Amino acid sequence: MHYDYVTENTCAQVISLDIEGDVIRNVKFTGGCNGNLKAISILVDGWTVEEIASKLSGNTCGMRSTSCADQLARAVRAAYEAQKQQKA
């Protein structure tokens, strides 16, 4: 399932990803620090929702209470829940 997540309080505006079961693939960020976010996308490809959430949740950026990595953790959780609702 493809999922688009609108971020809050980050330079990236949208995180797009594919989810199959609990595995995440094809993460793409719109906006944000291009090189860093491309690297994160490559690194997490094939990881599970739990792996991403446990490693990236709570990561902050400067004075902000969140970051693009933290928003990715939120995005994968939201995608997982949406996928469960779609199957119900």
Residue 71 φ then ψ, to 5°: -65, -35
Q: 78 with 7: CB under 8 angstroms?
A: no
CATH number of 2-87: 3.90.1010
Q: Comparing 11 with 87, which gets the higher pLDDT?
A: 11
Question: Between 49-56 and 68-87, two packed helices, what is the crossing angle to 10 degrees?
Answer: 150
Q: What is the mean pLDDT of residues 59-74?
A: 97
> Tokens 């959780």 — which residue?
77
HSE-CB of 73 using CA atoms within 13 angstroms:
15
Domain boundaries, the chain: 2-87
pLDDT at residue 39, rounded to an integer: 97
pLDDT at residue 87, rounded to an integer: 83
Q: What is the mean pLDDT of residues 34-54?
A: 97
pLDDT at residue 88, rounded to an integer: 78
Query: pLDDT tens digits, residue range 50-62?
Result: 999 999 999 999 9
pLDDT at residue 71, rounded to an integer: 98
